[in-house]
Structure 1
Amino acid sequence: MDSWLNNWPWWTQLALVALLLIFSAFFSIAETSMMAANRHRIRHLAHRGNKGAKNTLELVGKTEQLLSVILICNNVVNTIVPVLLTGIALHAFGNSGSVLSISTGVAAILIIIFCEITPKVIGATYPERIAMGASWIIKPLIVILKPAMWLINVFVTGLLKILRVDTAANKNSQMSPEELRSVVLESTHFIPNKHRSILVNLFNLETIQVDDVMTPRARMEVLDFSKPIEDVIHQLETCYHNKLPVCGEDTDKVIGILAVRKALSLLGDQNLEHHHFKELLSEPYFIPSGTPVLQQLQFFQENQERVGLVVDEYGVLQGLVTIEDILEELIGEFTTSLPDLSAKTKWLPDGTYLADGTASLRDLNRLLGLNLPTDGPKTLNGLLIETLEDIPDNNVSVKLDKVVMEIIQVDEQIIKTIRIYKPNV
């Protein structure tokens, strides 16, 4: 070593050490950036024709070869640097124990600062940009060092077999829905708030049933053909819906669905009778209670339906659900033929809100920013009766999940009006 170094001036020897430190830093930064790179973004850039992204995607798909070539090169350089620095120090200051200790310490500090910590921080900060650039150098090195990697991998594979480590156990691991949901929630810098909200709602649809989004039977507008024709015509002229369920003598049995637009085209006839409207009825589409919303959306598409009647296991009508109800769970309130209820659903200046007992808990949570439980009863009346286990009197107060509610009006078997107090955040 001394005879070789004596032939070079000191500044050339130090330049060689600096060059080796740069090589070591490059391999450290390449390793960190390759492992920290967002593979979804790299894959997207590769599909758009980015050559660096294609190289990076190919390299991260061969993790064993990638890590092998980086670790081989990095450790070889990190081994040579202390030897060169020690040789230079011994040649310049003489052969002594203190010189040997100081030169070794200086080499260790240089490697830790300039070849390990700093490059890894930089690589983790700009992973995709650095990985795509480094791939142009790492890819040829894999070809050049293939024989050495093969020999080393033979020993490594044998050692792993002895230790009974199964390297293929996690190769087919996929991201779970909850993990993907977390990725979406954390992507505040890349996805607009509205788009992120839609994606999160899409995950939530898997746990929502039609019972959660339907209009309950008590709040459904039903066209009753047992009433006089004048009442039927008046209801058609004043209704806000495009389609109405129709019942006959038995008000609990729906005999068909009437398209209001078609019915309105008959109103010019002075001799209208019930049978004229019955000819326009279409067969009702029934949905079993408990059907998942995401599955029902697919059923609507397959059956080319927009309105369905939810029935329980005994065939009793529970409510009505439309394709718009499901879409609003996904993208929020967007259109309705009813007056704008969401505009009226807001806190009063005194921090209270008067709610109807039949109000949906999901609607109240969404429009008032509450967190009332929705895994049981679907309406505010049902939640309060379940909590109190009795039909309460007026002026009874209840506190649920930091929300104070005061019962204002009770009518026979149902709580009619509740005052909700805005919770303190």
Structure 2
Amino acid sequence: MAVSLVCCLIGSAFFSMAETAMMAANRYKLRSLTKAGHQGAKLTTQLLSQTDKLLGVILLGNSLINAAAAALATIITFRLIGNDRLALSVATVGVTFAILVFSEATPKIVAATYPEKLAVAISFPLAALSKVFYPAVWFINLFVRLLLTLMGLGRKPASEQNLTPEELRLLVLEAGPFVGKKHHSILMNLFDLQASTVDDIMVPRRQVEALDLNENAAVLCEQLSTCHHTRLPVYEGSLDSLQGIVHTRKLLNVSRDSIDADAIRSVMREPYYIPAGTPLFTQLQNFQENHRRLGCVVDEYGELLGLVTIEDILEQIIGEFTSNTPSQGGARISHDQAGYVVEGSNLLRDINRRLGMTFPLDGPKTINGLVIEYFQDIPEAGTCMTVAGQRMEILQTQGRSVKAIRIYFPVNPS
């Protein structure tokens, strides 16, 4: 009898361990092992695809064994002591303690610690038991499904059990210690790409380097020989009158004396327009589908706001990989003993990313715009302010904009 009772405790421990291991197993690790040809993982995945049957087998086996253990404890008590109520109470408490310690808590903690390894090993006996207990499990689940239907509950289809984008983002965020720093950064940038628009990264209109067809041939030739880009917008009189985009490489074989407005018109391409507010991920796909590398961002009235290139979007994913041109000097960030010195044209998104700060992104796009919005005016040099917990000082203003700002290092409390 004692041996049978011990066997019942071991059997109960098996089912308790099976329940926790199967439910705690990482589905994605199992899928990865299944694709690699692991038979145990494949069988585990099949069992988990029918959770109602799997739980039916485990709970049925566990309930039968625990009932048998209680009955055996009673029989052993009768044989050793007789029909004594105190002895029966002690035996009941003893069996309950043994089940809790040896058949519930301990095996479940072990299973929660090594879920995938145990689930793969346990899947083979569970698969056999599911065939043996199939009629009983089917009968029990018949009532379970009826009860769930009456409660207005039901099993979700597989499509509803997939991870949402936010859940997937959180999964990648928590996987940081297991992924290379650069890879982790790229993955997180991909999730942020859909939340950013072309307005966040475009080269503002006033910084656009372009060719004016109304200029004489000498000026056009000089601009082409000193430009810092391979593709330039072409306009007539005003940037609102865009004529096309020219690839400077197509003019390399043209002699300097032959470069004029007509020569540029002959090789330029139709401009590619991008509506303001287009998400970066969407625009990356549009660049790919239209076989374009540069687009002109326009507002609802068709006025040019700035330029965006495919390289600008890729840099949002993998980081900067091109050198800055003089027109993009605002991207420079230096530091002194007191803090960081940034130029007013720096994008807030870039400052947050490079310096680990938390400036708000739902308003102005540049730190110059943030300062002007804060003061509702152009502040004088030496003026200080605090935004998003960052102390800043205006170092230089010019005309209608702030040229340089110092962002002080945080002060560590002593």
TM above 0.5, yes or no, is yes
Aligned partners of 1:59, 1:87: CA distance in 2, in Å? Answer: 37
Q: Which residue of the other structure, out of 207, 213, 222, is the alignment partner of 2:201?
A: 213
| Structure 2 CA distance for aligned equivalents of residues 416 and 139 of structure 1 | 71
Residue 40 of structure 2 contacts residue 124 of structure 2 at CA under 8 Å; is this kept in 1? yes
- The counterpart of 1:222, out of the listed 207, 210, 218, is 210
Distance in 1 between the 2:147 and 2:274 partners?
A: 60
Q: 1:335 aligns with which of 279, 301, 322?
A: 322
Distance in 1 (CA, whole Å) between partners of 2:263 and 2:282 is 36
- Partner SS state of residue 308, structure 1: strand
Distance in 1, matches of 2:361 and 2:214, equals 36
Moved more, 110-119 or 255-264: 255-264
Q: Secondary structure at the match of 1:393?
A: coil
Distance verdict in 2 for CA 1:161–1:321, change over 3 Å: closer
Partner Cα distance (1:416, 1:58) in 2? 63
Question: CA, structure 1 residues 83+130, in 2 after alignment: closer, same or farther (shift >3 Å)?
Answer: same
Does residue 319 of the first structure (1) align with residue 302 of the second (2)?
Answer: no
Equivalent in the alignment of 1:5: none
Identify unmatched segments of 5+ residues in structure 2: none
**64, 74, 90: which one aligns with 1:86:** 74
Mapped to 1, the partners of 2:265 and 2:250 lie a distance apart of: 11
Say whether the 8 Å CA contact 1:33–1:127 is kept in structure 2: yes
Q: State the shift of 1:324 in Å.
A: 0.9
1:238-290, CA deviations, whole angstroms, 9 ceiling, x for partnerless residues?
33211111223224432221212222333x54454343233221111111111
How far apart are the structure 2 equivalents of 1:307 and 1:24?
67
- Confirm or deny that 1:288 pairs with 2:275: yes
Does residue 192 of the first structure (1) align with residue 176 of the second (2)?
no
- Determine whether 1:119 maps to 2:107: yes
Alignment of 1:34-53 (within 5 A): 34-53=22-41
- Greater Cα shift, 284-293 or 304-313: 284-293
Q: 1:375 to 1:114 in 2, by over 3 A?
A: same
- Unaligned runs of 5+ residues in structure 1 are 1-12
Q: Is contact 1:55-1:135 (8 Å) kept?
A: yes
Cα 1:158–1:222 change in 2 (3 A) is closer
Whether 1:366 and 2:353 are equivalent positions in the alignment is yes
Q: Give the Cα separation in 2 of the matches to 1:206 and 1:352.
A: 32
The corresponding residue for 1:33 is 21
Q: Distance in 2 between matches of 1:418 and 1:337?
A: 20
SS at match of 2:364: coil
Distance across 2 between alignment mates of 1:400 and 1:343? 20
Q: Percent identity?
A: 43
Instruction: String of CA shifts for 1:368-393, please: whole Å, max 9, x gaps.
Output: 22211111111122111112112222
Partner residue, 2:85: 97
Secondary structure in structure 2 of the residue aligned to 1:410: strand
1:253 maps onto 2:241 in alignment: yes
Number of the residue aligned with 1:108? 96
Pair 1:404-2:391 in alignment: yes
Alpha-carbon distance in structure 1 between the residues aligned to 2:241 and 2:330: 34
AA matched with 2:393: E
For the 8 Å contact 1:25–1:116, the answer to whether it is kept is: yes
* TM superposition score normalised by structure 1: 0.90
What does residue 147 of structure 1 align with?
135
Q: How many residues align?
A: 411
Q: Which is further off, 110-119 or 78-87?
A: 78-87
User: 1:214 and 1:272, CA in 2 relative to 1: closer, same or farther beyond 3 A?
Assistant: closer
1: CA distance, partners of 2:143 / 2:164: 35
Q: For the Cα contact (< 8 Å) 1:237–1:264, is it kept in 2? A: no
CA distance in 2, matches of 1:390, 1:342: 24
CA contact (8 A) 1:241 1:337 kept: no
